[in-house]
């Protein structure tokens, strides 16, 4: 198959108009945000981060054992992944983590972009710090229970949905029913078919998919829904139930951000924990000296709930406020890679990390991209547009193209004058020979004038139609590259591009630079 070559263009995130003020201020190192993070994401900043992160050998052994258990669900482990798993036992090995929900068929493109950002961050750090090892990690949000967010994806403009009545943590869902989605799809996708048909749970299936797609890059996937790993969370759970510590600290930080004009991304609750069991992931609330599990008949006294935290920490699930802390407790992690909204909510957590004396990771914005296929690139060039111009609103682009297409008003006045002059000559001649012919000449002259007027209108209309065709082409191009007027990465699925370009993932690996803090445009040539 022909190798697809790429033209790469970079542009400022602010120029895309698609990112919040908080993010663009962060990327500009605004002093206002300085108190809400630890080190700004530069390669050099990791020297200090490496010194700050402590992770004992005992923690490494627990992590390695849990990961090896989780990888038994795969039929075979890529040697690069196994190498990275074993490296985690070494005291000089650290992780770079990204996380995401278990969207079926990988969901929107940015899932892939997050993982590639983690892979490339490790590559650059390895070059800069050869005495250390860096392992890219994908944190699977297996305990998430928002099924409506993960049960669908868009492929070639069509929405595919997985229907199931299962409840609770989605990672524990049986893959039953995904067979029907596979049957509806336009062609066979072996990686996904094998994972969904041969895995017992959605967590196992997602693990298999990410391993098939990114195993060659050494990506390690982790499921936090694990009995041994959850033991690290026990002291946090106990403090959460007795002191509501995270709520106090996160509320204070959020108020400080709001005073500076930044909107908090997540809201803290008095208890930022869920009760987790088969088919159940529900919030824990304290009412009348009892700890109740919402939407169930389950409740505990204070003594009972603290005893449960001690004996069965795996029955507690952190929410969005505490999950980042849990990640950092069980991983030798240096940086977290997230989308714009994620980076913003990590800003709300700085004081919480300080209270638990856990090193706050470097916050990295994942790479974002616009991928322009050869066909769309051709349409763009025919319209005389550059890729970075496509981010402008449609009406602004239409106005710009109108200016480019501007031609003098179509007028046949000169031809009218020539014909009038010619008929004047004919009239003179007719009058000298037979004055009764003058009227006939005048009538023919008028017919010629009328014919010219009609032709003038037809030519003008034809040109306008030609322009309308151009505007329609622009509208179609905008919709293809910005579906639903949002970034392509938030709507389109990996298979949309990988089906036609098997080297789609390697092309992204080649193009993305996690430290240049620029939006990437990839154009097929």
Per residue in 90-141, pLDDT tens? Answer: 999 999 999 999 999 999 999 999 999 999 999 999 999 999 999 999 999 9
One domain, residues 15 and 109: yes
How many Å apart are CA 276 and CA 274, to the nearest integer? 6
Across the range 35-53, mean pLDDT stands at: 97
146 falls within a domain:
yes
79 falls within a domain:
yes
Split into its structural domains, the chain has a count of 3
Token duo for residue 330? 């069980």
Angle at 28 between CA 24 and CA 32, to 5 degrees: 85
Angle between helices 234-243 and 245-259 (to 10 degrees): 80
Instruction: Please say if the pLDDT value at position 237 is more than 60.
Output: yes
At 395, the pLDDT band (50, 70, 90 cuts) reads confident
How many Å apart are CA 182 and CA 237, to the nearest integer? 40
Per residue in 298-307, pLDDT tens? Answer: 999 999 999 9
Farthest CA pair distance, the chain: 125
Nearest to 250 by CA among 261, 262, 236, 264: 264
Please report the beta strands in 123-166, taking only residues with DSSP state E, as ranges in sequence order.
133-140, 152-155, 158-161
One domain, residues 221 and 345: yes
The sign of the torsion formed by the CA atoms of 191, 197, 203, 207 equals negative
One domain, residues 356 and 464: no
One domain, residues 328 and 428: no
Q: What is the DSSP letter of 482?
A: S
How many Å apart are CA 9 and CA 244, to the nearest integer? 48
519 falls within a domain:
yes
356 falls within a domain:
yes
Buried b (16+ CB within 10 A) or exposed e, 490-522: bbbbbbbbbeebeebbebbbebbebeebbbbbb
Task: Report the chain's C-alpha Rg in angstroms.
Answer: 32
> DSSP string spanning 381-413?
HHTT--GGGGGS-HHHHHHHHHHHH--PPP--H
Q: How far is CA 394 from CA 13, 22, 398, 482, in A?
A: 19, 26, 6, 10
Name the average pLDDT for the chain. Answer: 94
Nearest to 513 by CA among 364, 335, 361, 367: 367
Domain that holds residue 424: 385-483
How many residues can be counted in the chain?
A: 525
One domain, residues 189 and 170: yes
Per residue in 408-446, pLDDT tens? Answer: 566 788 888 999 999 999 989 988 988 888 899 899 999
**β-strands 333-338, 362-365 pairing:** parallel
Instruction: Please say if the pLDDT value at position 389 is more than 70.
Output: yes
- With a CB cutoff of 8 Å and minimum separation 6, the contacts of 14 are 24, 27
164 falls within a domain:
yes
SS3 30: coil
Token duo for residue 119? 């892979």
Per residue in 129-185, pLDDT tens? Answer: 999 999 999 999 999 999 999 999 999 989 999 999 999 999 999 999 999 999 999
One domain, residues 51 and 191: yes
374 falls within a domain:
no
- Tell me the CA end-to-end span of the chain in Å, nearest whole number: 15
Residue 471 has what pLDDT?
A: 87
SS3 133: strand
Burial of residue 157, with CB atoms counted within 10 A of its CB: 0-12 exposed, 13-18 middle, 19 or more buried: exposed
One domain, residues 74 and 197: yes
One domain, residues 509 and 398: no
> DSSP string spanning 277-328?
ETTEEEEEEEETTEEEETTSS-EE-HHHHHHHHHH-GGGEEE-TTTHHHHHH
Instruction: Please say if the pLDDT value at position 2 is more than 70.
Output: no
Residue 341 has what pLDDT?
A: 94
199 falls within a domain:
yes
Record the pTM: 0.89
One domain, residues 198 and 123: yes
One domain, residues 93 and 129: yes
24 falls within a domain:
yes
One domain, residues 286 and 339: no
Per residue in 454-499, pLDDT tens? Answer: 998 888 777 667 778 888 999 999 999 999 899 999 999 999 999 8
The sign of the torsion formed by the CA atoms of 322, 336, 391, 17 equals positive
One domain, residues 306 and 336: no
């Amino acid at each position: 198959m022909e190798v697809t070559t790429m033209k790469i263009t970079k542009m400022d995130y602010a120029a895309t108009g698609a990112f919040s003020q908080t993010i663009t201020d962060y990327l500009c190192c605004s002093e206002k945000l300085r108190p809400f993070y630890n080190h700004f994401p530069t390669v050099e900043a990791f020297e200090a981060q490496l010194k700050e992160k402590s992770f004992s050998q005992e923690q490494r052994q627990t992590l390695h054992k849990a990961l090896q258990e989780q990888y038994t669900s795969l039929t075979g482990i890529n040697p690069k992944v196994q190498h990275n798993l074993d490296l985690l036992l070494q005291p000089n090995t650290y992780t770079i983590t990204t996380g995401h929900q278990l969207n079926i068929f990988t969901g929107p493109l940015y899932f892939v972009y997050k993982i590639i950002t983690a892979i490339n961050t490790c590559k650059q750090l390895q070059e800069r710090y050869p005495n250390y090892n860096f392992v890219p990690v994908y944190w699977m949000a297996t305990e998430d229970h928002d099924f409506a967010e993960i049960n669908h994806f868009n492929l070639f403009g069509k929405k595919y949905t997985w229907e199931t009545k299962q409840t609770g943590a989605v990672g524990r869902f049986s893959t039953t029913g995904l067979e029907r989605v596979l049957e509806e799809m336009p062609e066979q996708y072996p990686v996904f078919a094998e994972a969904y048909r041969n895995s017992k749970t959605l967590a196992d299936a997602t693990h298999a998919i990410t391993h098939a797609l990114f195993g060659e890059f050494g990506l390690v996937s982790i499921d936090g829904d694990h009995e041994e790993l959850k033991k690290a969370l026990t002291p946090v759970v106990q403090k959460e139930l007795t002191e509501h510590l995270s709520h106090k600290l996160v509320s204070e930080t959020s108020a400080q951000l709001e005073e500076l004009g930044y909107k908090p991304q997540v809201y803290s609750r008095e208890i930022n924990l869920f009760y987790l069991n088969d088919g159940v992931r529900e919030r824990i609330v304290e009412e009348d000296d009892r700890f109740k599990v919402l939407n169930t008949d389950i409740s505990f006294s204070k003594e009972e709930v603290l005893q449960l935290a001690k004996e069965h920490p795996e029955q507690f699930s952190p929410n969005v406020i505490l999950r980042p802390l849990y990640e950092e407790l069980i991983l030798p992690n240096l940086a977290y890679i997230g989308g714009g909204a994620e980076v913003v909510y990590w800003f709300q957590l700085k004081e919480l990390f300080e209270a638990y004396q856990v090193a706050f990771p470097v916050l990295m914005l994942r790479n974002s991209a616009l991928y322009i296929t050869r066909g769309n690139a051709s349409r763009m060039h025919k319209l005389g547009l550059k890729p970075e111009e496509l981010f402008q609103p449609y009406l602004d682009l239409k106005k710009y193209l109108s200016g480019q297409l501007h031609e003098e008003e179509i007028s046949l006045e000169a031809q009218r004058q020539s014909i009038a002059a010619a008929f004047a000559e004919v009239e003179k001649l007719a009058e000298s020979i037979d004055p009764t012919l003058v009227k006939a000449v005048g009538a023919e002259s008028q017919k010629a004038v009328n014919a010219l007027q009609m032709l003038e209108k037809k030519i003008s209309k034809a040109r306008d139609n030609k322009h309308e065709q151009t505007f329609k082409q622009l509208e179609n191009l905008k919709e293809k590259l910005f579906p639903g007027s949002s970034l392509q990465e938030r709507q389109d699925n990996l298979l949309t591009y990988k089906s036609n370009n098997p080297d789609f993932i390697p092309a992204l690996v080649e193009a993305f630079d996690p430290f240049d803090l620029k939006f990437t445009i990839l154009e097929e040539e």
